Structure 1
């Protein structure tokens, strides 16, 4: 997850990213589970809330450790923060980890001269999963901030999920809107992510369709032969 081409990264850095991609995805899901329990479990369930908080903290420490290792292996020093800006953002806001989609989409862009249908399919599938995870994460965050706010229209988690669906699909009925500053901050991020995901899906689908049509044209016998 960086602005620098993957080919220019040190081999040790690339090996670390390849080995930790799946484990970090699992850790991300565990983090999201802990955060969901922390938000959705009633306040009187002290033990469960404490366990969820411990789980969130433990998984976040794993993210910090991964960031530190990659910073050292990159050989960039403090420039790592700027070059791998998305890693830094995700470290501060772990709920944004589904944005690893950008790495996959960048791979498609690099191979646009020799597109592979399986790669396009992977982007579309990843974009769909990312949309679900980001929508769920945003719904949790907004519900956490809005449920006790005076005059809030998002009172239940169901309201928050409905709001997230409206926002991701850019429909925006306006029946459920965040009113707190932190809730609106989350909404702004979800709007931007929603546009990026929709762009990734539509762009990849269009490229895939063009490739299919091109192959069909190549199979046709020449006319007038």
Structure 2
């Protein structure tokens, strides 16, 4: 089955299931804007070979920029624009990194969709639930936590997010909250551990300057 045909089937069960959970969208892209700054996003990501898909999750806020430093459109944001991301996979599939297969028939496709819904309602919602009661949990993450990798152990930081980018994001959160000392400390740590991310030096220094005024 082609991705375009699978996408049409999503509207029958998958889309209504996500709407029941407060998400808006259709087809492959969904988002939920909470009343406490957090924005949850989900995208059904097709694989390059057209065999199946995964579910990509993303979390951002209504004040953080996207991963390129640009202002986000809260009504169009996708997981790829979010700093916090997670990939949901099929627990039963044996093909290409545990993707959900599109299948050869509509019945096979619907079996994948049913499992996608189950995994989203359990693992997906559990991930989004980590980001509740803003500014928690972000405001509680310290430099020491970053060094000892506590955010990854707690499931907040996936491997796609570096420690330096986490420090940058947290510095932005503390700047938003008016916590100047915490923001400066995170900027200093980020600059000391910048490694190959030299493009972020100016960004860190700009945030630091704003908090020193």
Higher strand share: 2
Give yes or no for TM over 0.5.
no
Q: Decide which structure has the larger Cα Rg and report it.
A: 1
TM-score normalised over the length of structure 1: 0.28
TM-score normalised over the length of structure 2: 0.30
Higher helix share: 1
**Relative contact order, higher structure (CA 8 A, sep 6+):** 1
